[in-house]
């Protein structure tokens, strides 16, 4: 192959109590990256669309190409590549936009150059790309986007990725209000230390959420989807957060919380019809606080990136 086009999915991270350790992939939205071989022996970004001119064309500053450069350096490969990045979701949306682009680039180069590296080997390069945007090494967006499914990151030193079994009838409703919250800024408002009582409650909810998924226990999922670390602070950045969450719960959502650092919010349900009803209620509630918003309904994407 001389060129390749890859889709990489958006992701919901944190998932309530799973701050920096849980995330799952969606079927929509996502980003697309095209990688073409070049005779110029350098990495260059030739086009970016969907970003309104906000993302850097400098390959040393863009999440897609930083991840690619990390991969090529690690494999001791010198090759010329031309990169096109097509953003299909909002920047600063809380849906893993930077992670999707990083994963798409690394996955594309691995396939284009027939490197045959495993996801475990690719992950650190995706995280290197993600670091450019978030200024933190976390995998709760890049790991779901790369592996697909619901991911638990048990530890970071060394990184330990675990795929969690899920109920087959789990649906996710997503509301994306038309505001931007930068991950690096949203991390700054969090407290560096927490009380022991808070840590115990967070650990209990995290364990309960995982067990609920594995046992198809939706009542356990509902009462475990509570975040004591980030939600109390980050919810204040989202106009109408409480009203939107109440709207979702009032029409049958299992529970509702922030995805990543926001402003997007997600709610679980057990059927597509319920998911559509919930997302309409969330959108109606949000319309009183923001001029425009986008909505998505998706089952959990079990496969991750794909070659288009």
Q: Is 251 in the same domain as 290?
A: yes
Mark whether 86 and 219 lie in a shared domain: no
Q: What is the structure's pLDDT at 109?
A: 98
User: What is the pTM for the complete model shown?
Assistant: 0.94
107 with 128, same domain: the answer is: yes
- Residue 23 DSSP SS3: strand
What pLDDT shows up at residue 183? Answer: 75
Same domain, 132 and 8: yes
Q: Determine the average pLDDT of the residues in 121-125.
A: 97
Q: Considering the chain, what percentage of its residues have pLDDT values greater than 90?
A: 86
List 32, 64, 130, 231, catalytic entry: 130
For this structure, is 130 an active site residue? yes
Looking at the 3D structure of the chain, how many domains does it have?
2
Spot the catalytic one: 63, 65, 183, 259: 183
CB 190 within 8 A of CB 141: no
> Which CATH number do you get for residue 90?
3.30.230.10
pLDDT of residue 211: 97
Range(s) of the domain holding residue 7 = 3-164+303-307
Q: Are residues 208 and 157 in the same domain?
A: no
Collect all residues with Cβ–Cβ distance below 8 Å to 98 and sequence separation of at least 6.
63, 91, 129, 130, 132, 133, 134, 141, 183
Mark whether 158 and 259 lie in a shared domain: no
256 pairs with which residues across the strands?
267
135 pLDDT above the threshold of 80: no
Q: Are residues 27 and 126 in the same domain?
A: yes
Average pLDDT, the chain: 95
Q: Could you tell me the CATH number of the domain that includes residue 218?
A: 3.30.70.890
Q: How far apart are CA 308 and CA 300, in angstroms?
A: 20
Cβ atoms of 229 and 19 closer than 8 Å: yes
Q: What is the mean pLDDT of residues 69-89?
A: 96
pLDDT of residue 186: 81
Residue 291 pLDDT exceeds 90: no
Is 295 considered catalytic here?
no
Q: Among 177, 170, 176, 178, which residue's Cα sits nearest to residue 253?
A: 170
How does residue 223 score in pLDDT terms, banded at 50, 70 and 90? Answer: very high
Are residue 111 and residue 252 in the same domain, yes or no? no
Q: Residue 21: pLDDT above 80?
A: yes
Residues 84 and 108 reside in one and the same domain: yes
Q: Residue 242's closest CA among 228, 258, 253, 230?
A: 258
> Are 18 and 135 within one domain?
yes
- Domain check: are 7 and 148 in the same one? yes
* pLDDT band, very low/low/confident/very high, at 163 (cuts 50, 70, 90): very high
Do 61 and 202 lie in a common domain?
A: no
């Amino acid at each position: 192959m001389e060129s390749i086009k890859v889709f990489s999915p958006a992701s919901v991270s944190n998932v309530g109590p799973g701050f920096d350790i849980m995330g799952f992939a969606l079927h929509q939205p996502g980003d697309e990256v095209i990688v073409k071989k070049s005779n110029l022996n350098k990495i260059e970004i030739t086009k970016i669309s969907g970003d309104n001119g906000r993302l850097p064309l400098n390959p040393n500053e863009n999440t897609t190409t930083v991840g690619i450069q990390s991969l090529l350096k690690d494999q001791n490969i010198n090759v010329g590549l031309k990169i096109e990045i097509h953003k299909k979701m909002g920047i600063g949306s809380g849906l893993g936009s930077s992670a999707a682009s990083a994963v798409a680039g690394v996955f594309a180069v691995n396939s284009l150059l027939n490197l045959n590296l495993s996801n475990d080997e690719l992950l650190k390069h995706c995280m290197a790309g993600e670091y450019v945007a978030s200024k933190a090494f976390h995998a709760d967006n890049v790991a779901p986007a790369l592996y697909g499914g619901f991911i638990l990151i048990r530890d970071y030193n060394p990184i330990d990725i675990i795929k969690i079994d899920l109920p087959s009838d789990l649906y996710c409703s997503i509301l994306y209000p038309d505001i931007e919250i930068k991950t690096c800024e949203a991390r700054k408002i969090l407290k560096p230390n927490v009380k022991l009582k808070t840590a115990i409650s967070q650990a209990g909810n995290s364990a309960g959420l995982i067990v609920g998924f594995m046992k198809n226990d939706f009542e356990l999922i509902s009462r475990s989807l509570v975040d004591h670390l980030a939600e109390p602070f980050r919810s204040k950045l989202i106009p109408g957060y409480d009203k939107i969450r109440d709207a979702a719960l009032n029409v049958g959502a299992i529970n509702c919380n922030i995805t990543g650092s926001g402003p997007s919010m997600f709610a679980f349900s057990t059927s597509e019809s319920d998911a559509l009803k919930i997302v309409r209620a969330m959108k109606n509630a949000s319309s009183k606080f923001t001029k425009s918003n986008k909505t998505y309904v998706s089952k959990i994407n079990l496969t991750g990136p794909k070659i288009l």
